[in-house]
Structure 1
Amino acid sequence: MIAGISAAREGAAVTIFEKNEKLGKKLFITGKGRCNLTNGCESEAFFEQVISNKKFMYSSFYSFDNFQVMAFFESLGLSLKEERGERVFPASDRSSDVIKALERELRKQNVKILLGSEVTSLNYQEDAFKSLSTREKEYFGDSCIIATGGCSYESTGSTGDGYKFAKERGLKVVSPRPALVGLEVRDPWVPLLQGLSLKNVKGTFLAKGKVLYQEFGEMLFTHYGISGPIVLSGSSACSKALSGQELTFSLDLKPALSEEQLDKRILREFEAGLNKQFKNVITALFPAKFVPVLLSEGPIRGDQVVNEITKEMRQELVTYIKNVKMTVTRPRPFKEAIITAGGVDVKELNPSTLETKKITGLYFAGEVIDVDALTGGFNLQIAWSTGYQAGISAAKGEENGI
């Protein structure tokens, strides 16, 4: 939609081919239906959130950055608001209002929209785009922008079509991977904590002892393993590593305390209950649901009398609390992933135009490209920036665009 608008504003005749029965089906579910459409951070902070190929994004982002995106939507009559983490939402909290604003502008720019039109093939004349075909008809044009998304949420139409079109013309595609997704864990005690949400903890992802990613925040235990903000971010930051090996997830339950401070905190509890059993003293420090796991997996037995616990045993307990280890086996499937990592190799594209280097008039934009970011509106910003850049580029010097 953004590519269509930007191309049409440049004077191109534009047709959007949408295989769904309506526009913006995936946009509708973003941000839990509220549509976190961008982030109000400074540009340097934006690039810090991009996981793959951030340098490739420079040209597109600076052509249509987050502040320009906000101004664009406000010019379409959409009121915006900023929330925690500088996340930007429509003031109405309705993603449908974002879609309606885009649809109004598409109509205003006389963009032709063909719903229920699945593109079956792209056709070329030597090394230039010539036409595309649906099941009903062949359509000719000077250029084609592929903005088909990835593989996440297949029900919204993201079925990997763009990768197929790219491969058919010999373009390299980096293997798609589920990202911003929950992670499956091998340890049998983890499902016992299903539904437990932890705040103000620190998670560290390691491969063979090497730290890959670390974040402070919230996490959630599930029936299959772990999820929540720090895990979703870690799944993206470590998606390549996850595709070939198991990782270690180390959880620091008390990151605000040093080992020495935590030891003193535990000692205070122990001194207040010297003649009690360990299981009856430790409950003040942890959520009730975690205590049975601490007793079964930690270094001190539940029936151990507190006045018999040595300094060495206490140190083992501190070490355990600061480093609860889990073995991550794999990410959850695409149908549960917020985004897709991987995609059309950026080396195949001109970063200033999003046109393929091998084929004149063929462009790629959005999630179909091997660029992805963490949560907070950054992935939609990538979509807006690349869609805008592709639309502008395809329209320049062309009589007709697709």
Structure 2
Amino acid sequence: MNILVVGGGAAGLMAAGTAAENGARVTLFETNEKVGRKLFITGKGRCNVCNDCDAQTVLQNVPVNPRFLYSALDCFSPADVMAFFWAHGVPLKTERGNRVFPVSDKSSDIIDALFTWIKRLGVTIIQKTVEQLEIQHNRVTGVRAGGNTYAGDRVIVATGGASYPQTGSTGDGYRFAKQVGHTIVPPNPSLVPLVEAGETCREMMGLSLRNVQVTVFENNKKIFSEFGEMLFTHFGLSGPLILSASAHMRHFGSKEYHVEIDLKPALDEKMLDKRLLSDFDKHKNSDFINALGDLLPRKMIPVVVRLSKIDPHAKVNSITKAQRASLLHTLKHFSVAVSGKRPIAEAIVTTGGISVREVSPKTMESKKCTGLYFAGEVLDVDAYTGGFNLQIAWSTGRLAGLSAAQEEES
């Protein structure tokens, strides 16, 4: 069996090695000088390999087409991923949120392990850009790269999405899929910072908040709510909570979005009101703007004061119950209107891609073209941060490689 793999990222490397392990002759096409370029920058260079959880938890962290991944996760679970890297000489550690990293904190260790594995199995690497698939009678027969045709019994497309184009993810896989009639769900940035419709965030640029609750509203309907960390930037909002929230915001242009931040999620309104009364009593002879230092970070105080519509120089002992209620509402529902996402080039992953309705979830084979398989981010499946997107790459790559190597000619 002669298998051609297009793309040397996480999914492509896993597919190539798996197919070779199962007796296939494998050729891997990679545009970049080195494989795993996007892997190198994941997890801020540390590589969040996966999440130490069960398959069901992975699915709960996949907002787009989770059911498509049942067979892939059954084939290669988070526990299997961890066992794989341990077996290939990469000790792992589990951190907050069950995120798994190499003990060394070096993504290069993950890439080196995969590269050593595929080379030991005899995978040939060709540093050329694939231009098109070769198709005859609705069956893939090879690829055209660098002006030459390479014959193959099977082709696995693992070219990534359209995020981080400098790593080689330039959307070629969508073009190959269209070549055989696949539907492409329009690619959008996911796990990406959000742009504010205004200037409020700019005033607090650089301020990081921990232990807050972020809720996203689409046309005033709640669509996401999570507890964690976030960051104000010169353009809007960023940080882990915001990146996860962005995965749900898929209809800018046709729908309106705003984010509400609960700055004190540990306190219900009654408890927070007691806290305000206590702080006000402590600072009763101070100006209002000088009485919030125990409650808020310094950079937030002028913004919260303005939004509460209380005179900043009003004496604290003159603040009415209604004004205190306005302040309380601002603290529990700090609202930021969102005009859009940062560009797809800044996104960690792409939402959208090849419609999974046209791909077999049990094998990753195209339903449009015999012998053609897809794996990884090129598919319309994406997840939250925490190692879940790499899990999708490992699992779909493993299943595609296994299926391509083992399936009988039809």
The answer to whether residue 227 in structure 2 is matched with residue 216 in structure 1 is yes
1:194 and 1:221 in contact (8 A); partners too? yes
**Root-mean-square deviation over aligned CA pairs:** 1.2
What pairs up with 1:2-401 in 2 under 5 angstroms?
Answer: 2-115=14-127, 117-236=128-247, 238-242=248-252, 244-397=254-407
What per-residue deviation string (whole Å, max 9, x for no partner) do you get for residues 195-243 of structure 1? 000111111100122101001111100000000111110001x232346
What per-residue deviation string (whole Å, max 9, x for no partner) do you get for residues 35-55 of structure 1? 111111122211111111111
Amino acid aligned to 1:334: I
Q: What is the alpha-carbon distance in structure 2 between the residues aligned to residue 386 and residue 349 of structure 1?
A: 11
- Report the counterpart of residue 8 of structure 2 in structure 1: none
- Report the counterpart of residue 10 of structure 2 in structure 1: none
Q: What is the alpha-carbon distance in structure 1 between the residues aligned to residue 55 and residue 76 of structure 2?
A: 11
Q: What is the alpha-carbon distance in structure 2 between the residues aligned to residue 276 and residue 358 of structure 1?
A: 72
1:181 and 1:338 in contact (8 A); partners too? yes
2:181 and 2:368 in contact (8 A); partners too? no
Q: Out of 301-310 and 215-224, give the one that drifted further.
A: 301-310
- TM-score (normalizing by structure 1): 0.97
Q: What is the alpha-carbon distance in structure 1 between the residues aligned to residue 310 and residue 405 of structure 2?
A: 69
What per-residue deviation string (whole Å, max 9, x for no partner) do you get for residues 286-338 of structure 1? 10011111122222110111221111111111111111111111010012111
What per-residue deviation string (whole Å, max 9, x for no partner) do you get for residues 250-303 of structure 1? 111111111111111111111122222111212221100111111222221101
2:219 and 2:256 in contact (8 A); partners too? no
Q: What is the alpha-carbon distance in structure 2 between the residues aligned to residue 306 and residue 207 of structure 1?
A: 37
- TM-score (normalizing by structure 2): 0.95
2:308 and 2:323 in contact (8 A); partners too? no
Amino acid aligned to 2:213: K
Amino-acid identity (%): 48
How many residues are matched? 397
- Report the counterpart of residue 9 of structure 2 in structure 1: none
